[in-house]
Amino acid sequence: MGSMKKADALVRVKEAELEVKKMRERATSEKDRILKEARREVLRIQEESRRTAGNALKERVEAGKREIDVKRSEILQQGQKEAEMIKQRGTTKTDEAASLLLKRFEEGVVAVPTKRDV
């Protein structure tokens, strides 16, 4: 009977070894599946990050363009105001110069003796 017990024990050891081998194969398969899934997730996150960064960059560029447009508009308005003031000053100066010229002309005409005055 001793040989029967040894044979029985040997069968159980072989069954246990087979079970361990199957467990290792399942663990390796599960590890590979988890790694593959993790790689996919990393790629998805990287792509999402690129997209988000791209969108953020686009938003910054658009905000910068809007700010530039506002500043440009303010500068143009200020320039137009200054040009109008210069134009007004020029018109006023021209009017003053014309009035002064006319006054001097009239004074000159009055100062020139006419035949009647002679």
Structure confidence at residue 12 (pLDDT): 93
Look at residue 35 and tell me if it is in a domain: yes
Q: Please report how many Cα atoms fall inside a 13 Å half-sphere around the Cα of residue 95, on the Cβ side.
A: 6
Profile the chain (118 residues) by mean pLDDT over runs of 10 residues: 82 94 96 97 95 93 96 93 86 81 75 58
pLDDT reported for residue 69: 95
CA-to-CA dists, residue 8 to 14, 17, 19, 39, angstroms:
10, 14, 16, 46
- Report yes or no on 54 lying in a domain: yes
Residue 13 lies in a domain: yes
- Whether 36 is in a domain gets the answer yes
Residue 82 lies in a domain: no
| pLDDT for res 113 | 59
Residue 118's pLDDT is 55
Structural domain contains residue 15: yes
DSSP assigned state of 114? -
Domain presence at residue 90: no
Asked, for residue 74, whether it belongs to a domain, the answer is no
Give the model's pLDDT for residue 19.
95
Domain count, the chain: 1
Q: Which domain holds residue 12?
A: 1-69
pTM score, two decimals?
Answer: 0.45
What pLDDT is attached to residue 14? 94
Letter for the amino acid at 22? K
